[in-house]
Amino acid sequence: MDNLEAMRIFAAVAAQGSFTEAARRLRLSPSVVTRSVAQIEARLGIMLLNRTTRSVQLTERGQIYLEDCKRILDDFEMAERRVRGEDANPRGTLRVTAPVLFGRLYVLPIVNALLHEHPALSIHLTLSDRNVSLFEDGVDVAVRVGELADSSMIAVTLGLATPVLVASPAYLQTRPAPASPAALSAHDIILFEGIGATNEWPFGADRKTMRVEPRLIVNGADAAIAAAQAGVGIARTLSYQVSDAVRAGHLTLILQEFAPPPLPVSVAYQARRIASANVAVFVKAIRAYFKANPLVQVHGPQEVPHR
């Protein structure tokens, strides 16, 4: 096995914190992955990874080696892109990440279209409500909802999504609709960990927070919306996630006059990926999609009057 491939394997093990998971993602046998890392360590005469029965962690020297591996792998990829030219046809693997529900509703159809259009292109789409690290996880493009923490990335705004509170009409027939954020203390709350992973909910233009005590905590938007429709309580979601349910009358908007400012929805990538034909074709496709199909603010039945 050549040194470049061994570096790729080591970087994957470090990113996943697991030999088994790295093997699965690379489509190699676990024995090949384990042997490759062991051969690097034997050649260097140092331990790069601390192994336990539950985890794999980088040593101090391993962290230094990982940073150099990533730089070398990025330089190699850049050299290939330059040889092919910036206008080369998309080919190889493009790694994309997006929030679960947003990815299923909007990103997957774009991915499907690109795969039909470009036979030499493969796409690894990861749907996760956590912010996957582009650098550490080897991701080429990320679709993000909210302000970007990493200012080194290039970001293109696709639209806006507003945090909204919703409950089913059946729930609001049995409990007075809250007249203010403070009144939420008298209600059953459904907390979706993907939106900030906190029980401090922001309200109004100044995003003043109100602490809520959830009765149900879920880690997926689909589950929060389903629970709200089942009459379990009030859920905080994003406008695009519940637009159909609100229009159909399955959910009712609550406290819209206290809604915080909308959040940007962006497609982001690292600056060094700017010459990648794969990244360019994806960014072009997703921008064209949202230009033709802009995200709109949710509209539906009027809020239930406060009682």
Model pLDDT for residues 230-275, shown as the tens digit of each residue? 999 999 999 989 998 999 999 999 999 999 989 899 999 887 666 6
For 100-118, the pLDDT digits (tens) are: 999 999 999 999 999 999 9
Output the pLDDT for position 165: 95
Tokens 């302000």 belong to 147
The topology (CATH level 3) of 92-157+263-292 is D-Maltodextrin-Binding Protein; domain 2 (3.40.190)
Q: Given a cut of 70, is residue 294 above it in pLDDT?
A: yes
| 169 pLDDT higher than 90 | yes
How far apart are the two ends of the chain, measured CA to CA in Å? Answer: 72
The span from the CA of 258 to the CA of 179, in Å, is 10
Q: Which two tokens stand for residue 224?
A: 């929060």
Structure confidence by residue, pLDDT tens digits, 11-57:
889 888 889 888 888 888 989 999 999 999 999 999 999 988 778 88
Residue 83: which pLDDT band, with cuts at 50, 70 and 90? low
Q: Residue with structure tokens 């589950």?
A: 223
Higher-pLDDT residue of 145 and 151 is 145
Structure tokens at 152: 């080194």
State the pairing for strand pair 263-270/208-211.
Answer: unpaired
Check if the beta carbon of residue 143 is closer than 8 Å to that of residue 205. no
CATH 3.40.190.10-classified regions of the chain: 92-157+263-292, 163-258
The residue to which tokens 């394997």 are assigned: 9
The CATH architecture that domain 3-84 belongs to is: Orthogonal Bundle (1.10)
* pLDDT recorded at residue 52: 84
Read off the pTM: 0.69
Q: What is the DSSP letter of 75?
A: H
Q: Check residue 146 and give its pLDDT.
A: 85
Q: 């009358």: which residue's tokens?
A: 249
Is a pLDDT exceeding 50 seen at residue 306? no
Q: What is the pLDDT of residue 307?
A: 44
- Contacting residues for 238 by C-beta, under 8 A, at least 6 apart: 145, 161, 162, 163, 164, 195, 221, 263
Looking at residue 87, what is its pLDDT?
53
Place of tokens 């230009």: 291
Indicate whether 67 pLDDT > 90.
no
Spatial CA neighbour of 286 closest among 276, 295, 273: 295
* Assigned CATH topology for domain 163-258: D-Maltodextrin-Binding Protein; domain 2 (3.40.190)
Tokens 């993000």 sit at which residue? 144
In whole angstroms, give the CA distance from residue 202 to residue 163: 9
3-state class (DSSP) for residue 195: coil
Could you give the residue range(s) of every CATH 1.10.10.10 domain in the chain? Answer: 3-84
C-beta separation of 172 from 304 below 8 A = yes
DSSP string, 220-273: -HHHHHHHHHTTS-EEEEEHHHHHHHHHTTSSEEE-GGGPPPPEEEEEEEEGGG
**Confidence band (pLDDT; 50, 70, 90) for 192?**
confident
